[in-house]
Amino acid sequence: MTKTARSRMRALLEDRICIPCASVFDPISARMADDIGFKTGILGGSVTSLMTLGVPDICQLTLSELVEQARRVCRASGLPVIVDGDNGYGNALNVVRTIEALEYACASLVTLEDTVLPYAYNGSPQQLIPVDEACSKLKAALKTRRDTEFAIFARTHALPGQPTEKLLERVRAYSATGIDGLVIFGLTDKDTLAQIAANTHLPLMLISYGDTDLGSQQSLADHKVRIRLQGHLAYEAAVRATYHSLQALHQRYNPAAEMRHTDAPAKTLLQEYARHAHYDALIEEYVTPARSKN
């Protein structure tokens, strides 16, 4: 009998290697990643917001919308899929529901972050919840799951902007709850990684965009890193390819048509078609009016 996706995920976490993580966003991309040879993929909250609603990552996505997309992606192939559970969509009681739903949707691993979402009125965009509250939510998640092979990771956004000791305080506290691993977001240097590894017995997942030099694959593995995500490049490439193919088709029948964004990167296209400017204006008017006037 072949191993289930969740048992394969558990094996990856126990192995002493660091593997790349594919960004998957629909059933086809999940099957492609599995066929190419990726050992795991992630369904990101930001990508799901774009795929489902066509809006930026501004907490408009609901739990039910995430779960529906997760169910489609996780059941499409044998690929072990990590699902970004944001902050559990509320307090510890909401976390209970999030874990129940994503376990049923066949996720292999869920991440729960320590941010205040949605953003508090005139609050910081990256405001963190207290450590004791974060631990309470993690304990609620652990108590809720039924399949012990379903992995639960704490994701911290204590970088950047927090002193290293504050980050390490969260690393130690989360590690003591009984969770299965830690996600470190925004890490930029090797020294901090070494300190994190020294303060936890748990496997790590790193989320860093671009080509940040955090050491070789072997060095990362030696510092307990088991999974590394370097952005949602596949989705961005799909956005750009879609735009250019539609543009070429349109020009074939309308040779005099104005050609826009001919060499634009995906982020520029997403800025326009996810209506970033529109939502930024709404945020400034209704969510952060005092800060926008300063």
Smallest CA-to-CA distance from 110 within 77, 78, 63 is with 63
Which residues, other chains included, contact 117 with Cβ-Cβ below 8 Å and sequence gap of 6+?
A: 59, 86, 87, 89
Instruction: Please write the tens of the pLDDT for every residue from 50-109.
Output: 999 999 999 999 999 999 999 999 999 999 999 999 999 999 999 999 999 999 999 999
Q: What is the pLDDT of residue 294?
A: 60
User: Cβ–Cβ contacts within 10 Å for residue 93, how many?
Assistant: 11
> Which tens digits make up the pLDDT trace of 143-200?
999 999 999 999 999 988 789 999 999 999 999 999 999 999 999 999 999 999 999 9
* pLDDT one-digit tens code per residue, 264-279: 999 999 999 999 999 9
The predicted model gives 23-48 an average pLDDT of 98
Domain ranges of the chain: 5-231, 236-293
**Percentage of the chain lying above the pLDDT 90 cut:** 88
pLDDT at 211: 78
The model's pTM is: 0.95
Angle between helices 92-104 and 63-74 (to 10 degrees): 30
For residue 293, pLDDT beyond 90? no
User: How sure is the predictor about 292, in pLDDT bands with cuts at 50, 70 and 90?
Assistant: low
| pLDDT recorded at residue 1 | 30
Q: Pick from 229, 222, 224: which is nearest to 181 by CA?
A: 224
User: What pLDDT score does 125 carry?
Assistant: 74
Query: In terms of CATH, what superfamily is 5-231?
Result: Phosphoenolpyruvate-binding domains (3.20.20.60)
For residues 81 and 41, the answer to whether their CB atoms sit within 8 Å is yes
